[in-house]
Amino acid sequence: MSVLESLRTIRDEALEQFKNGQTAEELEQLRVSLLGKSGQLTGILRTMGKLAPEERAAVGAEANRVKQALEAALSERREALQKAAQAARFERERIDVTGPGVRTRPMGRLHPMTQTYREIRDALVGMGFSLFGGPEIELDENNFTLLNLPPDHPARDMQDTFYVNDSVVLRTHTSPCEIRALKSVKPPFRLVMPGRVFRVDEVDASHSPVFMQMEGFIMDKGLTLGDLKGTLDAFVHAVFGEDVKTRLRPSYFPFTEPSAEMDMSCTICGGKGCRVCKGTGWIEILGCGVTNPHELENCGFDPKEWTALAFGIGVDRVASLKFGISDIRLEYENDARFLRQF
Ligand code: DAH
């Protein structure tokens, strides 16, 4: 083979190899093996001295053309590989900014006690009740004295509380809202008054020093205990369905006469008797009664003209029954792992 022929063979083979080169490294190896110090083409150029002078010019010119052709082909291939790599990377890293987010945010939900509170409230609002409220830090006078619990009355012991000073307490129940209503709302009215209340109680499965109540207060002329029972039945059935039974049990509260406690049939055992209802089939959920005439008089109303009915619901109790929670602490500890299930 003449030198010119081998030059062309080298070129044709090299051009073919470049086409198959898949990476920058492969191309670099090819370049070195052809154009490097001990490359094929370099080798041929080195032998030029041995050629006849007339041949030398032709071989020299061809060798230069081959070299240029190879260099051009190499850089073209390099560029093509680079572009392909970039295109592949764009494809790989493509994001559709209009698509839905990948990271989901945890959804919050309402605390079971809030859900319960809202159901009771909505049932009562549906019967014409309005929301009303009072402060958590209350005058002793509103919390006790005007509710017919004068200083030194033994019934005060039932609701020991936290004193801020001699005349200011953390309210022990939502009943002082009744006094605030009597002092500021013109009867007739139907009010629902929810909120946090406080007592000096040791924490156990059924006691918490902070808990939630909901006071209902109705004032009109000619109300009877039947109106009270009907109202209470309606809210219990709205929250628990028509199948639960209720009963009123005589009780004592200084601010009602007569006084009663309302029980509902135990939702855990369906009334057969279990650990939660202590085998009785009934669970107490509220205190209620016909407002004591002294309370009305204390606030300037004539009890012969006006009648009031009142009830105080333990919201945590109702939530326990609704959701089958057997330890009240779970309702106040705010452990998201527990609350998530409701
Ligand atoms: N305040 C009472 C308590 O915390 C519950 C209660 C009883 C409220 C009778 C009332 C009522 O309005 O009439 O134990």
**Which residue, judged by its Cα, is nearest atom 12 of ligand 1?**
311
Question: For the residues 220-241, what does the mean pLDDT come to?
Answer: 94
273 pLDDT band (50/70/90 cuts)? confident
Kindly state if the Cβ of 215 falls inside 6 Å of ligand 1.
Answer: yes
CA 259 to ligand 1: nearest atom = 9
H or E element, residue 118: helix 112-126
Give the position, in ligand 1's atom list, of the atom nearest the Cα of 255. Answer: 13
Burial class, 26, CB count within 10 angstroms (exposed 0-12 / middle 13-18 / buried 19+): middle
Residue 275 has pLDDT above 80, yes or no: no
Q: What is the pLDDT, as a whole number, of residue 155?
A: 84
Q: Is the CB of 240 under 6 A from ligand 1?
A: no
Task: Please tell me if the CB atom of residue 312 comes closer than 6 angstroms to any atom of ligand 1.
Answer: yes
Region 213-219: mean pLDDT is 98
Ligand 1 site, residue 175, Cβ cutoff 6 A: yes
Name residue, tokens 């709205």: 238
Q: What pLDDT does 83 receive?
A: 93
CB burial readout 84-99, b (16+ within 10 A) else e = eeeeeeeeeeeeeeee
27 pLDDT higher than 90: no
| Cβ of 310 less than 6 Å from ligand 1 | yes
- Distance in Å, CA 157 to ligand 1 centroid: 15
**In the predicted model, what is the mean pLDDT of residues 108-120?**
94
**Cβ–ligand 1 contact at 148 (below 6 Å):** no
The pLDDT score that the predictor gives to residue 164 is 93
> What does the pLDDT read at residue 173?
96
Question: Is 136 a residue whose pLDDT tops 90?
Answer: yes
CA of 214 to the centre of ligand 1 (A): 9
Distance 260 CA to ligand 1 centre (A): 9
What sign has the CA pseudo-torsion 230, 235, 236, 242? positive
Does the C-beta of 296 come closer than 6 Å to ligand 1? no
What tens digit of pLDDT does each residue of 142-194 get?
Answer: 999 999 999 988 888 888 888 999 999 999 999 999 999 999 999 999 999 99
State which ligand 1 atom lies nearest to the alpha carbon of 289.
13
Q: What is the pLDDT of residue 118?
A: 96
Whether this model's pTM surpasses 0.85: no
Model confidence at 101: pLDDT above 80: no
- Average pLDDT value for residue range 41-70: 84
pLDDT band for position 53 (50/70/90)? confident
Query: In angstroms, what is the span from residue 279 Cα to ligand 1's centroid?
Result: 25
Q: Which tokens hold the place of 282? A: 């009934």
Considering only CA atoms, which residue is closest to atom 9 of ligand 1? 288
Q: Widest CA span of the chain, in angstroms?
A: 142
Whether pLDDT at 230 is above 80: yes
Could you report the per-residue pLDDT of 307-335, keeping only the tens digit for each? 999 999 999 989 988 998 888 899 999 99
Cα 144 to ligand 1 centre (Å): 12
Burial label for 172, CB within 10 Å (0-12, 13-18, 19+), is buried
Average pLDDT, the chain: 91
pLDDT band of 216, cuts 50, 70, 90: very high
Angle between helix 225-240 and 112-126 (nearest 10): 130
d(CA 5, CA 108) in angstroms, rounded, equals 81
Would the pLDDT of 263 be above 90? yes
How large a percentage of the chain has pLDDT more than 70? 100
CB-ligand 1 contact for 287 (6 Å cutoff)? yes
199, 131, 132: which is closest to 171 by C-alpha? Answer: 199
Question: Is the CB–ligand 1 distance for residue 290 below 6 Å?
Answer: no
Residue 276 scores a pLDDT above 80: no
The whole-angstrom separation of Cα 179 and Cα 84 is 82
Confidence of residue 135 (pLDDT cuts 50, 70, 90): very high
Atom of ligand 1 nearest to the CA of 215: 12
